[in-house]
Amino acid sequence: MRRTRKLSLVVGVGLAGLLLVPVLNAVGGEEEGLTLDQVPEAVRATILREAAGAKITEIERETENGKTVFEADFLRDGQEIEIQVAPDGTLLGKEIEQEDDDEEGIPIDQVPEPARKALRELAGPGTVLRAERDSEDGVIVYGAKWTLNGTKHEAAVTADGTLIETEEIIPVANAPAAVRTAIAKHFAPGAQVVVARKMIVVYEVEAKVDGKEKELLVFPTGQVREDTDDDGDDDDDDDD
């Protein structure tokens, strides 16, 4: 899963409990999700020609500076391909999404059963999943990407199905007011902005050691990110 993190906020704290960390990933103009029968005939013909029978996962109409472009995503041989089409059906561009160097795209049936079951439960029955295998903190993790009702989702779990994180692309208008204010402050009007709502799982563990309170933030992969004692000193303690 992509891990570009611009802004993070810890929500909720508890003994050996679960924290959810929403993360803003700001990098749309005006975008509208469409179905194949909602695009102009010339655009539909180009999309079908380029997809050549591959499953079309998403179609969007984007308008920027008065110009309209249709974008379509489809999967072929495990690769996600995106094309840009003009309203008259002219093919404007084609992009093949490249995975991170340490990520490996794999068929969903090669994901261990507990991990596969967890990912399918997150995505919903019948959803087409694009799976990948990655190494995080020396632990093999499994991720999946899918599109549901025009919305892109991602999730990552360990081999035994333990949830690590989820991600959902949301319209800027659906972001909290404080997030929209931050976007307006840091990006000029007209900037293309995409907001990804991330939930990252981390466990907070508190204990007393030699009369001192000690706190650890432990991720599902076993990595420790923070070590705090009662004198206010914070020590980073990454157990790889």
pLDDT digits (tens, 9 = 90+) for 66-111: 789 999 988 876 677 889 899 999 988 887 765 454 567 888 889 9
Q: How would you class 56 by CB atoms within 10 Å of its CB: exposed for 0-12, middle for 13-18, buried for 19 or more? A: middle
The pLDDT-based confidence of 65 (bands split at 50, 70, 90) is low
Distance CA 56, CA 175 (A): 27
pLDDT at 227: 61
Mean pLDDT computed over every residue of the chain? 78
Residue 154 tokens, joined: 């991602």
Locate 227 and state its tokens: 């070590």
Q: What is the CATH number of the domain that holds 61?
A: 3.10.450.360
Are 235 and 212 spatial neighbours (Cβ–Cβ below 8 Å)? no
Residue 49, domain extent: 30-95
Q: 6-10, 45-49, 206-210, 229-233 — which is least confidently predicted?
A: 6-10
* 54 and 21 both lie in a single domain: no
List the beta bridge partners of residue 30: 63
Same domain, 74 and 59: yes
Same-domain check for residues 70 and 126: no
Backbone angles phi, psi at 5, to 5 degrees: -120, 115
Say whether both 151 and 71 belong to one domain: no
**Paired sense of beta strands 55-64 and 139-148, if any:** unpaired
Question: Which of 158, 162, 126 minimizes the C-alpha distance to 142?
Answer: 158
Domain C-terminal end among 47, 74, 95: 95
- Same-domain status, 130 and 157: yes
What global pTM score does this model have? 0.57
Higher pLDDT, 77 or 219: 219
* Average pLDDT of span 107-118: 92
Question: Pick from 185, 162, 187, 140: which is nearest to 26 by CA?
Answer: 187
The dihedral built from the CA positions of residue 102, 106, 112 and 117, taken in this order, carries a sign that is positive
Q: Which of 95, 114, 129 is the last residue of a domain?
A: 95
- Examine the fold and report which residue of 80, 95, 110 is the final residue of a domain before the chain moves on: 95
Residue 75 CA to residue 2 CA, distance in Å, equals 18
- What pLDDT is recorded for position 8? 30
User: What is the distance between the alpha carbons of residues 178 and 174, in angstroms, rounded to a whole number?
Assistant: 11
Is residue 81 located within the same domain as residue 67?
Answer: yes
For residues 193 and 86, state if they share a domain. no
Number of Cβ atoms within 10 Å of the Cβ of 141: 22
**Whether residue 158 is found in the same domain as residue 240:** yes
Mean local confidence (pLDDT), 3-21: 36
Looking at the structure, tell me whether residues 34 and 21 fall in a common domain.
no
